[in-house]
């Protein structure tokens, strides 16, 4: 029976039907859709089928099928032959009802739904999965962390090989993407880095001035600002800002390309994603972050000078004179020397999490968040290791 009116403008729903014209033939008909399968359970139960009967389902009269109807059809074909559609099979070796003469497009949809049900452990006869205990969950989380660490190490190895290939063949280096990333990760970040560094210098001077003022040691505010900003605060705050700004952008960009299969298309065309996407970002950040750190040093010291004059009465000339005596070139180099390591950590983690994106848009957001959290964590860990190493070296 046709499902359209004469002018083919409006669908007419034919309810799903089940009939048993012979003891061995189960005829399916109508629209197996969300609107048409409402009464199919009662019809199936009324047949009173038994497992001893050899039943074959005929699907040639099914006019429409959607995912809801495919799910009901899958349950019916795999239920126990006792007339109860809701009764699940308990014997894994029990034969399902075979289905024949189903339209190819309907068969593909039914296969897809069946696979999805199997992936979700919703197959008839499957019991609810056992809930893992706390020790098992801790072990699974630990195994996941080690697996991700191993994957990150392998990713670093792939980057190293790509870098060797570019060094062996300089024509493979993509200079325009490098310059673009220097602008986006470096030049465009100057306002936010400068503002936060200036305010951080103000805060350090304000808090330190309250401790120095009672002892009449106002001039030592230059020592405090210089050492704290140049060695620790400026490199760290700059790296954290770039991790939240550029590291997240790297993960989101590559993750979106992974979801839309652009990276697979690049590999198909013979383009190495490491050389096209990863190396320009790492190279650009290795150049930009030390320069941003030096800029943050300048603005942080300037903020401390302004607050020292306002709170402690230390003029700019006195501050600069004391600053030149108290701060050596080693102090500046220690802070700026951390920046390339922080840059490598941020860029590698951001790109790594981007390549691990799969599924849909929610995966892009999830991996972007993971990239920021992991990058900031590893930057702080690296800074702590630097402090230990510099202390051991007497720097």
- Give the class (CATH, top level) of 17-119: alpha beta
Query: CB 55: neighbour CB atoms within 10 A?
Result: 19
Minimal CA–CA distance to 246: which of 299, 287, 274?
287
User: Can you tell me the mean pLDDT for 146-157?
Assistant: 90
62-71, 246-255, 268-277, 386-395: range with highest mean pLDDT = 246-255
Helices (H) and strands (E) in the chain, counts: 15, 4
Handedness of CA 267, 272, 278, 281 (dihedral sign): negative
57-61, 205-209, 240-244, 327-331: range with highest mean pLDDT = 240-244
User: Can you tell me the mean pLDDT for 126-141?
Assistant: 73
Quickly tell me which residue has 């936060």 as its tokens: 196
Domain definitions of the chain by residue range = 17-119, 151-393
Angle between helices 316-326 and 221-228 (to 10 degrees): 60
Provide the token pair at 111.
């296969």
Res 129: pLDDT: 58
Res 352: pLDDT: 92
Minimal CA–CA distance to 249: which of 303, 300, 183, 312?
183
Percent of the chain with pLDDT over 70: 88
pLDDT in tens, 346-394: 999 999 999 888 877 788 888 899 999 999 999 999 999 998 988 888 7
Query: CB 175: neighbour CB atoms within 10 A?
Result: 10
pLDDT in tens, 179-207: 999 998 889 999 999 999 999 999 988 88
User: Can you tell me the mean pLDDT for 238-255?
Assistant: 92
**Of 115-124, 227-236, 265-274, 369-378, which range is least confident?**
115-124
pLDDT in tens, 223-236: 888 888 888 899 99
Res 319: pLDDT: 85
pTM strictly above 0.85: no
**Of 13-22, 235-244, 301-310, which range is least confident?**
13-22
């Amino acid at each position: 029976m046709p499902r359209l009116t004469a002018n083919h403008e409006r669908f007419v729903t034919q309810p799903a039907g089940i009939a048993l014209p012979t003891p061995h033939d189960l005829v399916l008909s109508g629209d197996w859709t969300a609107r048409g399968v409402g009464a199919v359970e009662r019809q199936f139960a009324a047949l009173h089928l038994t497992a001893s009967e050899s039943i074959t389902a005929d699907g040639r009269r099914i006019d429409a099928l959607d995912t809801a109807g495919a799910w009901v059809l899958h349950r019916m074909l795999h239920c126990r032959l006792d007339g109860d559609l809701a009764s699940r099979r308990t014997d894994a070796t029990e034969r399902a009802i075979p289905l024949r003469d189903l339209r190819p497009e309907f068969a593909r949809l039914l296969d897809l739904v069946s696979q999805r049900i199997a992936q979700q452990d919703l197959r008839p006869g499957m019991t609810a999965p056992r809930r893992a205990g706390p020790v098992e969950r801790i072990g699974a989380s630990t195994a996941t962390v080690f697996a991700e660490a191993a994957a990150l190490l392998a990713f670093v190895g792939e980057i190293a090989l790509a870098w060797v290939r570019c060094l062996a063949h300089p024509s493979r280096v993509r200079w325009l993407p490098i310059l673009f990333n220097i602008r986006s990760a470096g030049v465009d970040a100057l306002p936010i880095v400068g503002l936060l560094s200036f305010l951080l210098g103000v805060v350090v001077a304000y808090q330190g001035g309250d401790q120095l003022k009672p002892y009449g040691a106002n001039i030592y505010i230059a020592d405090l600002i210089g050492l704290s900003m140049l060695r620790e605060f400026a490199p760290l705050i700059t790296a954290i800002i770039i991790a939240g700004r550029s590291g997240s952008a790297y993960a989101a960009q590559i993750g979106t390309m992974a979801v839309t299969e652009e990276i697979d298309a690049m590999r198909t065309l013979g383009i190495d994603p490491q050389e096209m996407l990863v190396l320009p970002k790492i190279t650009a950040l290795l150049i930009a972050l030390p320069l941003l750190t030096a800029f943050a040093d300048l603005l942080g010291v300037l903020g401390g000078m302004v607050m020292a004059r306002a709170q402690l009465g230390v003029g700019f000339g006195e501050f600069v004179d004391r600053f030149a005596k108290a701060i050596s070139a080693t102090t500046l180099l220690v802070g700026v020397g951390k920046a390339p390591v922080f840059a490598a950590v941020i860029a590698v983690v951001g790109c790594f999490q981007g390549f691990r994106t799969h599924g849909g848009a929610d995966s892009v957001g999830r991996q972007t968040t993971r990239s920021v959290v992991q990058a900031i964590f590893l930057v702080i860990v690296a800074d702590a290791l630097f402090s230990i190493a510099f202390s051991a070296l007497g720097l």
